[in-house]
Structure 1
Amino acid sequence: MSISPARKTFLGGLTAALVLGLGATALALPQSAPAAERATAAADTMPVAIEDFSYPDAAKIQQERGIILKRGDGHISLTPATALNQCVDPSNIAIEARKPTTSVVYCFKATAKSGYLTLELPDAFNIWTQDHPVQATLTAEGKETVVNAPADDLTSVGESGDTGLRSTLVEIRVTG
Structure 2
Amino acid sequence: MKVRRAVVRTIGTALGAGALAWLAVAGGITGGAGAAGPGGTAMKPIAEEGPGRAIEDFGYPHADKILAERNIVLKRGDGHILLADCGSATDLMEVWSREKEKICFKVSGTRGYLALEIPAVFAVKGNAYSAQVDMTVGTEEKTFDVNKNAWTPVGESADEQGRDFMLMEIRTAK
- TM-score strictly above 0.5: yes
Out of 114, 117, 136, the residue aligned to residue 117 of structure 1 is: 114
In the alignment, residue 21 of structure 2 is paired with which amino acid? P
User: Counterpart of 1:89?
Assistant: 90
Q: 1:131 aligns with which of 121, 124, 128?
A: 128
Instruction: Return the letter of the residue paired with 1:63.
Output: A
Higher CA-based Rg: 1
Q: Is the 8 A contact 2:125 2:150 kept in 1?
A: yes
* Aligned pair partner of 1:57 in 62, 68, 76: 62
The aligned counterpart of 1:30 is 21
2:127 and 2:89 map into 1 onto residues whose CA distance is 8
Where structure 1 has 5 or more consecutive residues not aligned to the other structure, the ranges are 1-25
Q: Is the 8 A contact 2:125 2:147 kept in 1?
A: no
Pairing partner for 1:145 from 112, 134, 142:
142
Equivalent-residue separation in structure 2 for 1:41 and 1:114 (angstroms): 38
- 8 Å Cα contact 1:87-1:107 kept in structure 2: no
Q: Distance in 2 between matches of 1:124 and 1:154?
A: 13
State the alpha-carbon separation in 2 of the partners of residues 174 and 41 from structure 1.
Answer: 41
1:130 CA displacement:
1.6
CA 1:141 to 1:41, structure 2 compared with 1: closer, same or farther past 3 Å? Answer: closer
Letter in 2 for 1:108: F
Q: Measure, in 1, the Cα distance between the counterparts of 2:168 and 2:106.
A: 17
Q: Distance in 2 between matches of 1:112 and 1:96?
A: 23
Distance in 1 of aligned mates of 2:50 and 2:138:
50
Aligned length: 138
User: By how many angstroms is 1:40 displaced?
Assistant: 6.7
Match of 1:169 in 2: 167
**Structure 1: which 4+ aligned runs deviate by more than 3 Å?**
36-43
The alignment's TM-score, normalised by the length of structure 2, stands at: 0.69
Matched, 1:154 2:165: no
- After superposition, the C-alpha distances for 1:76-131 in whole angstroms (9 at most, x for unaligned) are 000133xxxx26522x10000012xxx51110000112110000000011100121
SS in 2 for 1:30: helix
Structure 2, unpaired ranges of 5+? 1-16, 31-44
Distance 1:160 1:77 in 2: 25
RMSD of the alignment, in Å? 2.7
